[in-house]
């Protein structure tokens, strides 16, 4: 008779319980279970690893990821320059995060033009409530997966219920031009042309506000209603500072400089546009703190 593998597995406890000729086997002490070390995550670049290392408070790993002097621009920490400033910043952020049960859900990664753009959602327990914070990191690539500078983008609205004006991080680059539907969107945005903006999206395309879910407007009807509200005061003028486009996804770092006919205090932000199968936009995800709600109010 040939026993199946399942039958053999079922008999193992009986066999183990018997010694030679069926005599009971002497009892053996059971060693306590050893904790299993988590498998380390391998990251392709220092930019991709940054948020996880920040949550862990790993000063050394963050520092070694820079090709030269550590350089970070962060919504909380401002301009972080040099090893001492880096250590102070990482310690402060680690302390803030540690009491908020941080958990990171990785999102899309876009690589092009000597930059890496990483999107993610940071899950926190903040002031007694769950907060899902959309966050993005832009890194200027250096050899061997290292980075020259990091720029972090997110809104303060999910955390504080208000916006913080963020000054420009980079100057206007007159050569930074997007292509295709992304370029069409930018022209329509500047003109305040709602119909033209909606036309740049796939039928099931969506616009996600900087605050994340549930502020997602999906489909042409929802996009039209949202854009009509936001652009009630006129078009939004932005200066492009970098364009990172891998053909599928285009990430634009920008300075918002105009709302309608009124110049505004320049404010830094990041917009990510993902193309769908027809070349139109499947998604637009924004990372900034520009208070369009107040600016659009009559």
CATH number for position 204: 3.10.450.50
| DSSP-assigned states of every residue in 55-101 | HHT-HHHHHHTBSSS-EEEETTTEEEESHHHHHHHHHHHHHHHHTT-
Q: For residues 143 and 241, state if they share a domain.
A: no
By DSSP bridging, strand 236-245 and strand 115-126 are: unpaired
Q: For residues 277 and 185, state if they share a domain.
A: yes
* Residue among 286, 254, 282 nearest 272 (CA): 286
| Per-residue pLDDT tens over the stretch 88-113 | 999 999 999 999 999 999 999 999 99
- Residue-level pLDDT at 42: 75
- Segment 67-80 mean pLDDT: 98
| Per-residue pLDDT tens over the stretch 244-256 | 999 999 999 999 9
10 or 206, higher pLDDT? 206
Exposure b/e, 189-221, CB count within 10 A at least 16 = b: beebbbeebbbbbbeebbbbbbbbeeeebeebe
Provide the whole-model pTM: 0.85
| Per-residue pLDDT tens over the stretch 32-45 | 434 433 434 678 99
* Strand boundaries in the chain, DSSP class E: 71-74, 78-81, 103-112, 115-126, 129-141, 147-153, 201-208, 216-218, 236-245, 249-259, 262-275, 281-288
| Per-residue pLDDT tens over the stretch 135-170 | 999 999 999 999 999 999 999 999 999 999 999 999
Query: Domain tally for the chain?
Result: 2
User: Is the Cβ–Cβ distance between 257 and 186 less than 8 Å?
Assistant: no
Q: Identify the domain boundary among 154, 189, 218.
A: 154
Q: Domain range holding 203?
A: 180-296
* pLDDT of residue 268 exceeding 70: yes
10 or 288, higher pLDDT? 288
What's the chain's average pLDDT? Answer: 88
- Residue-level pLDDT at 291: 78
* pLDDT of residue 279 exceeding 90: yes
Q: Identify the domain boundary among 154, 171, 204.
A: 154
Q: What is d(CA 116, CA 244) in angstroms, rounded to the nearest whole number? A: 8
The conformation of residue 277, written as its DSSP 8-state character, comes to: T
166 or 7, higher pLDDT? 166
Max CA separation in the chain (angstroms)? 96
- Residue-level pLDDT at 64: 97
Neighbour order of strands in the sheet with 115-126:
78-81, 71-74, 147-153, 129-141, 115-126, 103-112
174 assigned to some structural domain: no
The conformation of residue 38, written as its DSSP 8-state character, comes to: P
* pLDDT of residue 298 exceeding 80: no
- Segment 47-63 mean pLDDT: 97
């Amino acid at each position: 008779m040939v026993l199946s593998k399942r039958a053999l597995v079922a008999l193992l406890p009986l066999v183990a319980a018997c010694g030679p000729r069926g005599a009971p086997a002497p009892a053996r002490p059971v060693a306590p279970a050893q904790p299993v070390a988590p498998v380390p995550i391998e990251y392709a670049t220092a930019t991709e690893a940054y948020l996880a290392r920040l949550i862990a408070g790993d000063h050394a790993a963050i520092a070694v990821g820079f090709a030269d002097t550590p350089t970070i621009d962060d919504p909380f920490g401002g301009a972080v320059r040099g090893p001492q400033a880096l250590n102070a910043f990482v310690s402060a952020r680690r302390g803030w995060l540690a009491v908020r049960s941080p958990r990171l859900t990785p999102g899309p990664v876009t690589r092009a033009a000597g930059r890496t753009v990483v999107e993610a959602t940071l899950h926190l327990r903040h002031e007694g409530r769950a907060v899902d914070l959309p966050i993005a990191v832009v890194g200027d690539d250096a050899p061997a997966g290292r980075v020259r500078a990091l720029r972090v983008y997110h809104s303060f609205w999910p955390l504080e219920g208000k916006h913080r004006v963020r000054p420009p991080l980079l100057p206007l680059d007159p050569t930074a031009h997007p292509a295709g539907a992304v370029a069409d969107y930018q022209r329509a945005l500047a003109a305040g042309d709602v119909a033209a903006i909606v036309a740049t999206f796939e039928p099931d395309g969506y616009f996600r506000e900087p605050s994340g879910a549930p502020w997602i407007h999906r489909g042409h009807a929802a996009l039209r209603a949202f854009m009509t509200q936001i652009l009630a005061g006129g078009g939004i003028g932005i200066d492009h500072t970098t364009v990172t486009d891998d053909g599928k996804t285009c990430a634009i770092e920008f300075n918002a400089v105009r709302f309608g006919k009124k110049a505004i205090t320049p404010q830094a932000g990041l917009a990510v546009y993902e193309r769908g199968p027809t070349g139109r936009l499947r998604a637009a995800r924004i990372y900034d703190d520009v208070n369009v709600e107040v600016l659009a109010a009559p």
